[in-house]
Amino acid sequence: MNNKIIRIASLIFIMCGISFLIVTSYIDLSNSKAPEHFVSAGLIDLSKIEDFNHLVKLDGEWKFYENELIHDAQSIEESKKIFVTVPGKWNRYETGRKEPKSFGYGTFHLRIQLSETQINQMVGLKIQNIGMSNKVIINDQVISMSGKPGIDRNSYEMGNVPKYVFYYPEKTELDVLIQVTNFDYSPYSGIVSSILFGPQEVLENTRITAYGYELVFLGASLAVGFVFFMVFLFRIKRTYLLYFSMYIISSGLYVLTHGEKIWFHLFPTFDYLIFAKIQYFSAALAISFFIGYLYTSFPEVFKNRMTKALLLVSFAFYPAVLFPLSIQSNISSIQIAFYIAVMLYSVYGSVKSILHEHTYSVYFVGIILSTAFMGREGIYLVLGKGKVGLWMLLAQFTWILIHASLIAGRLSKTFDLVEEQSKELIRMDQLKDEFLAKLSYALRAPLMGISNVTKLYIEQEEDTLSYSRGVKLSQIQDFSRRLTRLVNDMTDISKIKEGKLTLELSVIQMNRFLRKVATSMAVAYKDDGARIVFDIEDSIPMIRADQDRMKQIIFCLMDHAVLNSKNNPITLSGRGNTESVEISVRYPEESSQSNKHNELFEPFSQQNDLGMESGLGLSIAKQLTELMGGIIEVKHIESGEISITVIFPAYKSRVEVDEIAVTEIQSSQGETFNDIEEQTLATPYSIKTAGQSTVIVADESPTNLKLIVDMLVHHNYSVIAVDNGHDVMKQLQLNPSTDLVVIDYWMQDPSGLEICRKLREVYSRDDLPILMLTTTIDPSVVERALLSGANDFLYKPYQANELIARVHSLVQVKKTLALTTSYELAFLHAQIKPHFLYNALNTIAEYCETEPHEAGRLIISLSKYLRGTLDFENISSFVTVEKELSLVKAYLNIEMARFDKLEVAFDVDDNITVSLPSLTLQTLVENAVKHGVTKIVAGGKVTISIKQLDDGVIFTVEDNGVGMDLEKLDISNKTSEKRNSIGLYNINTRLLKIYGKELIIESTPGLGTKASFVIPNGGSL
């Protein structure tokens, strides 16, 4: 009943609003009220106005001289005049003008009679719409001109801009001549809007008011449009926000080019033809965006074929902007009619939605009425019947308030739905936990009974029990024992999750404790056939922990090892020093497990091809370890084993007892880091630790930033913290050895995705891993992050151990790859061809007999060369130009001694300050000698050039040797079949990784080869 009343009231309100618009529009357009002062027979007498302090419309019967451009009143031929109504379109004048009747030229004439008092003040005219060009002359003095009137297209210039012009009358009678020419605008021409006349002060106030209305409207349009567009950028899927913002902005553009045409106040010399195109285009855009907004914002009502058809029709208006203005102006009339049709369609849709009880029916009423207001005022502007005034401003503010309410309503509804679903999820989660807890308690007794009965039966019937039955009964006992442990683990998981797990901390002497555990373990796993080796040191420091939970942790590790070792030996070891205690379980690694170390601690994760699972044991062990202040690590040992290590800090006190006073604690480490109170730090923030890894963290939230920094520093990472994407790039330039970047997905200006893409333009995934963080649990977000270049992804809120594990994994992968690359470079550069050493030593031997001094010099050169090429530690480091040249000269000294026809030239600028990767220039020189000039019997020349440029230093090695076919050379692909030069590939790869610049090779067979590269200023790293 209430819904029906609301629907009826809404319909009545809409009808009243539309009726109001129709009535007011009729009153405005008919303008039936007769003015107090009007023009009659080309004369208006204002001399009898005693208090002349208002504006007068110069409407009425003007004289018109067709095909005449009159410059002074004395030259008027009265016989050619006709009387016409102003304002009005001269298309309707009874003249002999040919079609189109809107084209042509002529002069309007009016005489204004003033009193002696009135001529003692400045007076003025407001000229609104006289198309398409006009010139105003008062008493033979030109006071205004828009465009340039002419008798044909060649002498006429288009221009129809509203003017406020002022004149100081010298006599009581004013002869007003207005020349008008139109050869472009087809619908109409002439004086189509009233001309206002009055005192300067009043006219100035009118101008300020008109400009104020339009500027307020324009400012509101741009502000609202920009705000909603920014909201859209954060909610890309909400396309209605885009259409709405574009509709508001295009409406602002429409007002900017209509009414007072503020456009020409911003761009006074702007071409009017292009301006007319913009006028038309702004209207077309507004219509299309409005239809798109209806379609996307209210799909239940407007997502249909009719709306699509209207949208397609709106697109048909765009090509007209390319047509001549005479054709375009005719189409604009059709455009107005189409806009009205769209408005009517939106009204129909709103009525339909109300009848069908649409969720946002109430909002439709205000939306349609405010839109209709703006539409009416827009039509007034085109028809020249009105101005952007208070009604337009009111309609705009109404539009803003209604849509703000609509969006707020939607967001509120979404929030309520999420809150309701969250409560339901919490309730279901609690029910699940309760179910697991009750199930675990209910299963514990029968499982224990099965295990005990089976064990008793085996012991009683040991002598008579067959082997096959004994095996089966042992399997039953083993399965029941495992299931019992799983039930116990489920209970612990439930307690940990609820924060109800109580730890009884005590000081434990670890060597005695581990030996007791070893004794228990030998008995417990005897029936499983496990071969356990114990390697426990005699002097292990004490730790502070819960003894029962410590035992549970060690048994969880051993359960996992027994399950996956396939009866291979398992080693339990205990080590310690003054800082920490390590307890490790090692077992042989299956090949299928080698890449799944991070999955070991996930509940029920599959570990091998036989379907063995880790269950909850390792997950429980990990959580218990961290609750007691320790960490757990998984390592792959070179011997082919997996080592799971639990590390606890050594207890510093001198107390040497097995236990101290029991302290019950409620773990707080289970809380997410996002729940901790606000902490901030100033960015960019840098902290150096003893660790060898550096992480850059970027997050706009000071709280999140501080917490991540604390976690990383606690785990011995050096950290650089920033709160925007621009600082990420700056810090990477200052700290090129950074190992990892952690970025928040929802950062702004630039966004996390943009930062990721920019980084990937310079760094590969191997060179610089990226970990993306987000609060949005959405597969599409993960997809976009990974496609933009992220290596890994983590949802907020997260546990500290999960974040550290991912950081550690990515850093280790990066360092492993970097180390592999370094070894490869070292191996390749350290290769000394046997024939080179043989030839060098042979040459030195010859010189020893003939020129001992030269032989000594060559030995020194060979020593320098071998020291430089065999320096494995510095193979991937940077050296000065002077040091690199020293190595080059040492090499060339030997080669020139061997080949007397080898010429070498150096062209090196002074004061070169950049450094370069070692063995870069030397490799190019060696390549030029070996594969270039020495292949020619007549010898050749190698030129080494180092020149300072504005933005860097260019290194060039050029020879006039045999040259090569570049089509057969590919230095960009390590596995390419074309690649036949390891040295050139190496150099190119290093230059790309460090500077993002390639090695440039130019060569012509038979003429020689030129190799060059550029190191930017400051590129020493």
- CATH label of the domain that carries residue 642: 3.30.565.10
Which residues lie below 8 Å from residue 123, measured CB to CB, with a gap of 6+? 114, 166, 167, 168, 169, 197, 198, 199, 200
| Residue 64 CB neighbour total at 10 angstroms | 25
**Burial status of residue 455 (CB atoms within 10 A of its CB: 0-12, 13-18, 19 or more):** middle
Distance CA(1021)–CA(1012), nearest Å, equals: 20
**Beta strand pairing call for 770-774 and 685-687:** unpaired
pLDDT of residue 977: 42
Q: Which residues of 6-24 are buried (b: 16+ CB within 10 A; e: fewer)?
A: ebeebeeebeebeeebeee
- Asked if residue 490 belongs to a domain, the reply is no
Convert the pLDDT of each residue in 950-1006 to its tens digit. Answer: 888 999 999 988 888 877 776 655 444 444 566 777 788 777 777 767 888 998 888
- Asked if residue 4 belongs to a domain, the reply is no
Q: Which whole-number Å values give the CA distances from 14 to 301, 370, 486, 668, in the listed order?
A: 17, 11, 68, 60
Convert the pLDDT of each residue in 179-215 to its tens digit. Answer: 999 999 988 889 988 899 999 999 999 899 888 888 8
* Residues present in the chain in total: 1021
Whether 62 and 155 share a structural domain: yes
Distance CA(852)–CA(858), nearest Å, equals: 10
**Beta strand pairing call for 196-199 and 141-146:** unpaired
**Burial status of residue 53 (CB atoms within 10 A of its CB: 0-12, 13-18, 19 or more):** exposed
Of 419, 445, 475, which residue is a domain's last? Answer: 419
Range of the domain at 939: 831-1016
Residue 269, φ and ψ in degrees, nearest 5: -100, 15
Distance CA(647)–CA(637), nearest Å, equals: 17
- Asked if residue 817 belongs to a domain, the reply is yes
Whether 1002 and 855 share a structural domain: yes
Higher pLDDT, 124 or 672: 124
pLDDT of residue 823: 59
Whether 401 and 328 share a structural domain: yes
Structure tokens at 755: 């930062």
Distance CA(405)–CA(399), nearest Å, equals: 10
- Asked if residue 844 belongs to a domain, the reply is yes
- Asked if residue 330 belongs to a domain, the reply is yes
pLDDT of residue 498: 66
Whether 615 and 737 share a structural domain: no
Distance CA(643)–CA(635), nearest Å, equals: 5
Q: Confidence class of residue 12 from pLDDT cuts 50, 70 and 90?
A: low
Reference 925, options 966, 962, 884, 965; nearest CA is 884
Convert the pLDDT of each residue in 499-514 to its tens digit. Answer: 767 777 778 888 878 8
Q: Confidence class of residue 590 from pLDDT cuts 50, 70 and 90?
A: low
Whether 746 and 882 share a structural domain: no
Whether 639 and 719 share a structural domain: no
Q: Domain containing 773 — which CATH number?
A: 3.40.50.2300
Q: Domain containing 182 — which CATH number?
A: 2.60.120.260
Mean pLDDT over each residue of the chain, to the nearest integer: 78
* Percent of the chain topping pLDDT 90: 17
Q: Confidence class of residue 270 from pLDDT cuts 50, 70 and 90?
A: very high
For the cut 90, the answer to whether the pLDDT of residue 96 exceeds it is no
Whether 823 and 835 share a structural domain: no
Whether 188 and 278 share a structural domain: no
Distance CA(961)–CA(930), nearest Å, equals: 10
How many domains does one find in the chain?
5
Region 24-36: mean pLDDT is 57
Distance CA(373)–CA(217), nearest Å, equals: 13
- Asked if residue 382 belongs to a domain, the reply is yes
Convert the pLDDT of each residue in 333-387 to its tens digit. Answer: 888 889 888 878 887 887 777 777 666 767 767 776 776 676 666 566 555 455 5
Whether 842 and 818 share a structural domain: no
633, containing H or E segment = strand 631-637
DSSP for 752-810?
A: HHHHHHHHHHH--TTTS-EEEEES---HHHHHHHHHHT-SEEEESS--HHHHHHHHHHH
Q: Which 8-state DSSP code applies to residue 820?
A: H
Distance CA(940)–CA(212), nearest Å, equals: 82
Whether 641 and 782 share a structural domain: no
Of 419, 437, 470, which residue is a domain's last? Answer: 419
Q: Confidence class of residue 435 from pLDDT cuts 50, 70 and 90?
A: confident
Whether 896 and 984 share a structural domain: yes
pLDDT of residue 676: 35
- Asked if residue 807 belongs to a domain, the reply is yes
Whether 817 and 858 share a structural domain: no
Angle 834-850/852-869 helices, nearest 10 degrees?
160
Convert the pLDDT of each residue in 938-951 to its tens digit. Answer: 888 999 999 988 88
Higher pLDDT, 859 or 109: 109
Of 384, 419, 454, which residue is a domain's last? Answer: 419
Q: Confidence class of residue 656 from pLDDT cuts 50, 70 and 90?
A: very low
Q: Confidence class of residue 312 from pLDDT cuts 50, 70 and 90?
A: very high
For the cut 50, the answer to whether the pLDDT of residue 911 exceeds it is yes
For the cut 50, the answer to whether the pLDDT of residue 614 exceeds it is no
